[in-house]
Amino acid sequence: MSLRKGEIVALMRLEGKATVEQLAEHFGVTVQTIRRDLGELEDDGKISRVHGGAVIRSGVTNIQYEERRNLFAEAKERIAKRVARDVPDDISLFINIGTTTEAVARELLNHSNLTVVTNNMNVANILAANESCEIIVSGGTLRRSDGGLVGDLATQMIEQFKVDIAIIGASALDEEGDLLDFDLREVRVSKSIIRHARKVFLVTDHSKFERSAPVRIASFSEMDAIYTDRPFLAELNRKCAEWGVSVIVA
């Protein structure tokens, strides 16, 4: 791989996607040169071409955790701040695995008297700074790549609770309104979280629509509210309205 193509992949891992014009300006080359580079990178399985540019390819494995944490960090912060406004004090919560759910945890540090059940070690560590927050960490198998706890033990632990609000993320979304993920063990935990919450809030930035994942978690119709950073396409908005799902754009 040429130095420029390596830098293209590195840039896209930080941003999630890039346009031909942005890359041509960045590298000081023609758009034709960038289109050729993108074509070769797609052939190598590194990226996927989309209209006007390309996105990083996720396929059947997720992007590395630290890279995901940096992707669209500002959008995740906006989403998190908006969600925190709708989370009252004195309630119980599930918070699952994900970099956006971790952003929400940071925005809950000034809330009072929360009980938080989580299968995300990072969420537990973040909320440990809130002395009025009771934190219950599920058991399970530790996934070292992202601090997630997965597997049957985590699922069984979650099933002992019935919380007021679940705040969940997903690795990918599709235009039919389904939440998708990569790890079947994690999906089983997420399904249990959804079943055992009175309300479910999905937190997701727009880049999740540009990825694919092989395992289905749930439908948007099972959510009470979806917090995102860009409006959905008209057809998906129509479906959400039919399902009675609130879509909040931060």
For residues 94 and 33, membership in a common domain is answered with: no
Q: Which of 103-117, 208-222, 226-240 has the lowest mean pLDDT?
A: 208-222
Average pLDDT, integer, range 182-194? 93
Query: Which residue bears the tokens 């601090």?
Result: 147
Structural domain including 48 reads 3-57
Average pLDDT, integer, range 193-217? 91
For residues 37 and 76, membership in a common domain is answered with: no
For residues 51 and 91, membership in a common domain is answered with: no
* Structure tokens belonging to residue 103: 């952003």
Of the pLDDT bands very low, low, confident and very high (cuts 50, 70, 90), residue 110 is very high
For residues 99 and 209, membership in a common domain is answered with: yes
Average pLDDT, integer, range 67-71? 61
Query: How many domains, in total, are found in the chain?
Result: 2
Last residue in a domain, options 39, 57, 75: 57
For residues 88 and 177, membership in a common domain is answered with: yes
For residues 96 and 11, membership in a common domain is answered with: no
Instruction: Please determine, for residue 32, whether its predicted confidence score (pLDDT) is greater than 90.
Output: yes
For residues 85 and 41, membership in a common domain is answered with: no
**For residues 166 and 195, what is the distance between their CA atoms, to the nearest angstrom?**
10
For residues 145 and 219, membership in a common domain is answered with: yes
For residues 104 and 205, membership in a common domain is answered with: yes
Instruction: Please determine, for residue 60, whether its predicted confidence score (pLDDT) is greater than 70.
Output: no
Q: What is the pLDDT of residue 146?
A: 85
Of the pLDDT bands very low, low, confident and very high (cuts 50, 70, 90), residue 208 is confident
pTM of the model: 0.75
Q: What is the CATH number of the domain that holds 89?
A: 3.40.50.1360
For residues 7 and 89, membership in a common domain is answered with: no
For residues 78 and 104, membership in a common domain is answered with: yes
For residues 53 and 70, membership in a common domain is answered with: no
